[in-house]
Amino acid sequence: MTDSPPTTGSAYRVLARKYRPQTFAELIGQDAMVQTLGNAIRRGRLAHAFLMTGVRGVGKTSTARLIAKALNCIGPDGQSGPTIDPCGVCEPCLAIAEGRHIDVIEMDAASHTGVDDVREIIEAVRYSAVSARYKVYIIDEVHMLSKNAFNALLKTLEEPPAHVKFLFATTEVNKVPVTVLSRCQRFDLRRISAEKLAAHFAHVVREEGVEAEAEALSLIAQAAEGSARDGLSILDQAIAHAETEGAGEGARVTAAQVREMLGLSDRGAIRRLFGLLLVGDAQGALAMMREQHDLGVEPLSILRGLLETVHGVTLLKAGGRGDDPAQSVEEREALADWASQLGFAPLHRLWQLLLKGHEEVARAAMPSEAADMALLRVIHAASLPDPSELARLLEGGAPAASAQGAASSPTPSPAPAATLPASFEALVKLLWDRNKGLIADEIEHFIRPIRYAPPELDFEPARPMAQEQIDRIRAAIDEVTRGRWQLRLAQGDAQPTLSERREQAEQAARAEILGHPVMQAAMAAFPDAELMPADDEAKWSESA
């Protein structure tokens, strides 16, 4: 339910006001709270004070007004009681929606912070409601009340008259005294997901008779950061921006217009820039930064886009979600490709370097120049060897040229591949050589390798393995290789364990020996003879 469209000549109402939720069904993203309130109303277990908290624009004040409606709705027939589905047509519902109900008092604590303002409430609560079932006090930004005002309210808040309900809203719940919090039923309103916001904005543009690209709505939803009000304000601006382009009636909001309006960089450009960073192309990266600067893109937006890219690649590598509706097919393929090539160590290093660059650009007197320097630092510092590798080079007396050569790799790993065992078999041999026989024996009997790509090992267990056993094996490998390994249970084309390979080799050799004509003749001459391994024969001789 929304307000009726404005008539010709009437004042324009911004979308954030026009599409303010009028029922709990229209309150998006707060299902848990609505269910709790509905159960409380149906069972007659209504608290005397409610506290709504959350970031801006998630519906705190709207929820307070909806609760006031729910408590005072009398239905179209005038006989109904409190309900989670207020009718919206009875006089209390209409009066509350229009802000003119005498028994629903809204107060902004930001402009009424003193104890005298609270004393007026304390005096008024003694009198019954004039025409409603409950007298409701809605206090917005309640955290801004003074300490004396809170103290004056405490006693009334703890034992209010039966006909009075208090509804508090705040964005900074940590500033509300614990003595007040303990007297309220608290609801933490969640940030609204980008998917739900985009769907809501799609409904709004249909109602407004405006066309909009799905990607444009996704960009607006992401820029809103969980706030429906912020998103509607941006959408309002985007529609106006589309109209100023000459579209007029039936304007079309495009992703390109939204990016230009918000100063966002094209996601494809961010991916190209990220690729240049990975290959160490300093000139190409700086040229792209200049190109984006000429297009009006803020340097901070570029750094943020690069951080989002690193985050997306890392989540994919960790097995996280890769179904962001705002991502194109090309972007998903690019992120998946980087996730398969980059290890966790270089990704974490890239994140730290870009995060530091973002902080510097945010407070720099020359943001563009600071962004250039941040990218150059990423290109030159991200490829340096891991601290553990540096320690190994120093301990082994490696020449400086080796360290410099290690630093030239555009996509670093926790340690250069040449210093790690080249094969799975070589890794196990290294464990035997470094007196890690028990661990080596476990690996030989339990691990069926699927993918060996130092410092990563994907495997299938030959028998069930506890996580602590896997952790113990990984710790031993880290110790002997001085690296940071990733051991992952996986499914795929697994090779046999080393013990299974030895057994298969022995069986093949036995079959080959027994198939030889001389051996067949010997076995025929001595039917009771048995083919035994050489070590078993030695043991038999000693015992004899």
Asked if 31 and 187 count as a contact pair (C-beta separation under 8 A), the reply is: no
**In the numeric block, which tokens belong to residue 314?**
């890392």
Nearest to 192 by CA among 329, 21, 313, 311: 21
- Report how many helices (DSSP H) and strands (DSSP E) the chain contains, helices first: 25, 10
Task: Report whether the peptide linkage leading into residue 421 is cis, meaning its omega lies within 30 degrees of zero.
Answer: no
CATH of domain 15-188: 3.40.50.300
* pLDDT of amino acid 540: 44
Mean pLDDT of 285-307: 89
Q: How confident is the model at residue 543 (pLDDT cuts 50, 70, 90)?
A: very low
**Calpha distance 195→201 (Å, rounded):** 10
Helix or strand (DSSP H, E) at 107: strand 104-108
| Percentage of the residues of the chain whose pLDDT score is greater than 90 | 20
pLDDT at 400 over 80: no
**In the numeric block, which tokens belong to residue 321?**
């979600």
**Calpha distance 509→530 (Å, rounded):** 15
CA distances from 172 to 141, 163, 176 (A): 8, 28, 7
* pLDDT of amino acid 373: 93
pLDDT at 397 over 70: no
Mean pLDDT of 422-449: 89
* pLDDT of amino acid 459: 92
**Calpha distance 532→543 (Å, rounded):** 15
**Calpha distance 444→62 (Å, rounded):** 64
Interacting residues of 23 by C-beta distance below 8 A, sequence separation 6+: 1, 66, 85, 86, 88
* pLDDT of amino acid 416: 42
Q: Which range, of 400-414, 496-510, 530-544, averages the lowest pLDDT? A: 400-414
**Calpha distance 3→324 (Å, rounded):** 33
| Overall fold of domain 267-381 | Zinc Finger, Delta Prime; domain 3 (1.20.272)
What is the pTM assigned to this prediction?
0.57
**In the numeric block, which tokens belong to residue 477?**
């490998």
Asked if 517 and 462 count as a contact pair (C-beta separation under 8 A), the reply is: no
Nearest to 291 by CA among 310, 270, 275, 308: 270
Q: How confident is the model at residue 394 (pLDDT cuts 50, 70, 90)?
A: low
* pLDDT of amino acid 415: 40
In the block, residue with structure tokens 């090779």: 495
**Helix 400-407 and helix 387-395: axis angle, to 10°?**
160
Mean pLDDT of 285-306: 88
Question: What three-state secondary structure class fits 106?
Answer: strand
**In the numeric block, which tokens belong to residue 246?**
């000459």
pLDDT at 325 over 70: no
* pLDDT of amino acid 45: 86
* pLDDT of amino acid 279: 83
CATH 3.40.50.300 is held by the domain 194-262: no
| Percentage of the residues of the chain whose pLDDT score is greater than 70 | 84
Mean pLDDT of 144-171: 90
The tens digit of pLDDT for each residue in 60-104 reads 888 899 999 999 999 888 888 888 889 889 999 999 988 899 999
Asked if 313 and 337 count as a contact pair (C-beta separation under 8 A), the reply is: no
Q: Are strands 447-453 and 456-461 parallel, antiparallel or unpaired?
A: antiparallel
